[in-house]
Structure 1
Amino acid sequence: MTFVDIKDLVQIVFWIFASSITFLTYRNINKSLLSPVNTEYQKRVLENLSVLSNKLFSELKSGTQDYRGHSLQMQPIWKQMQSLYIEDKDSTRENGIDILDINITSEFLFSQNLADEVRYDPFIPNEIREAVTTYLDCRTKVSFDSTVSSLHDTLINIDKIIEANGEVPSSYFEEDINIFLENTYLDYMDNNGFSDEIIEEMNKNIMTQILEYIDSFNPRFNKN
């Protein structure tokens, strides 16, 4: 090997080494620049997941505004139903009540609103977003259908009372209809896969999934 060959070889090795150093330096600089962005993104993800978990938990905790046992709020529905029935009794008995004229349950609003929040939240991981929206979309539909069905059954019950007594006692619209409407609604929810027990289980499953995701960022549990 001549001196020129050795010189050329040294130059080739030098440029390879220099290129490697340049690439590694660029990668480290780029990583340093992106690190604050990644940290802020992860912070937002963890914050939004914590909010989501708290909303799911609030449905299971008695004493909270969203507790399912207190959140059906059937009273506005049957009060509105009473008004429609009294104002146009014959038409109501013949044609039923248009669901668009009736308030929907708070459970419907809770499920629908939370599903939309999660669906369009860029800081919710895809696998959790999919689990939440699939569950809540189905629950929203069943809640709507259960409201319609319970209203229909209530009208039938009113007709039976009229056939037996000639009129509907005023007390029926004060207490009985609320109990009948709520029980019928809950029966439809139960029969379509959303009993209290199932809802509690589904909420806890998603909360566990969220907890596992958050734990993956905890140095105590992350060995990598």
Structure 2
Amino acid sequence: MKDIDSINKIAQICFYCITIILGFLTFRNAKRGLLNPVNTEYHKKVIERLSEVSEELASEFYNDSEKDWFQINDITNAVDRINDFYLENKEEILSKKQFPFCGYPLPELSSHLRTLISRINFDPFIPIKIRDLIIELLENRLEYTESIIVEELDRYCDELAEGLHTELFEYNDGLVQTRVNKRLSELGLDESQVQEAVNDIQIEIHHYFRSFQP
């Protein structure tokens, strides 16, 4: 009789264990079933956002783009503003050999880079590794390009105050731009070098696409 009771108890224990295990497996499968669509939608959004970012970074190197490299890096407006101020105050500037700050505008590049940095830095759909690569490139460009442009425009102002570069006045924007480009090249930030850096980022994006498993 005791043997039968023992067998019944063991059978009940086995039954409860099996029931618990089946319940756990059922819960786990149900949880996976709920999470898979969420994960898939998230990665779809990541892929979509990375495609957009890749296009934004590359747009500077499209000739028909509104953000074409030569357009947003152009310093003609700044040089024209300096030239106009110089002509209006020529006698005073040359007599004092000093050029007062005239409030020249920076190229569109500055606002373009700041906008990109702000949008990308807080984007939850850009993987951290890729985001860090992009932000490093953009912040380096913003810091060095802006400072170099300001320094070269100030240098140009000082040279005008010394009576230099007045023979071919209308071409002085090319002079300043060439100086800026030379210094950017030395820092690895001219057009071809930035394009190469963007290509490297696009390769990382491509690797992410290939490694993604829905």
Instruction: Please state which band the TM-score falls in when normalised by the shorter chain.
Output: 0.7 to 0.9
Count residues with an aligned counterpart: 210
Contact 1:93 1:155 in 2 (8 A): no
Higher relative contact order (CA 8 A, sep 6+): 2
**Aligned-residue CA RMSD (Å):** 2.5
Residue 19 to residue 84, structure 1, CA distance change in 2 (3 Å): farther
Q: Distance in 2 between matches of 1:55 and 1:2?
A: 78
Q: Distance in 2 between matches of 1:15 and 1:57?
A: 62
Q: Distance in 2 between matches of 1:2 and 1:93?
A: 114
2:193 matches 1:189: no
> Partner letter of residue 34 of structure 1?
L
Alignment partner, residue 7 of structure 1? 8
TM-score, normalising length: structure 1: 0.82
Deviation at 1:53, TM superposition (A): 0.6
Alignment partner, residue 51 of structure 1? 52
Alignment partner, residue 199 of structure 1? 194
* Unmatched 5+ stretches in structure 1: 220-224
Contact 1:56 1:203 in 2 (8 A): yes
- Structure 1's consecutive aligned runs of 4 or more residues displaced over 6 angstroms after TM superposition are none
Deviation at 1:93, TM superposition (A): 5.5
Q: Distance in 1 between matches of 2:104 and 2:30?
A: 61
Residue 60 to residue 163, structure 1, CA distance change in 2 (3 Å): closer
Q: Distance in 2 between matches of 1:83 and 1:145?
A: 23
Contact 1:49 1:210 in 2 (8 A): yes
The one of 129, 132, 139 equivalent to 2:131 is 129
The one of 127, 138, 144 equivalent to 2:146 is 144
Q: Distance in 2 between matches of 1:129 and 1:38?
A: 20
* Unmatched 5+ stretches in structure 2: none
Alignment partner, residue 222 of structure 1? none
TM-score, normalising length: structure 2: 0.86
Q: Distance in 2 between matches of 1:157 and 1:30?
A: 72
Alignment partner, residue 101 of structure 2? 97
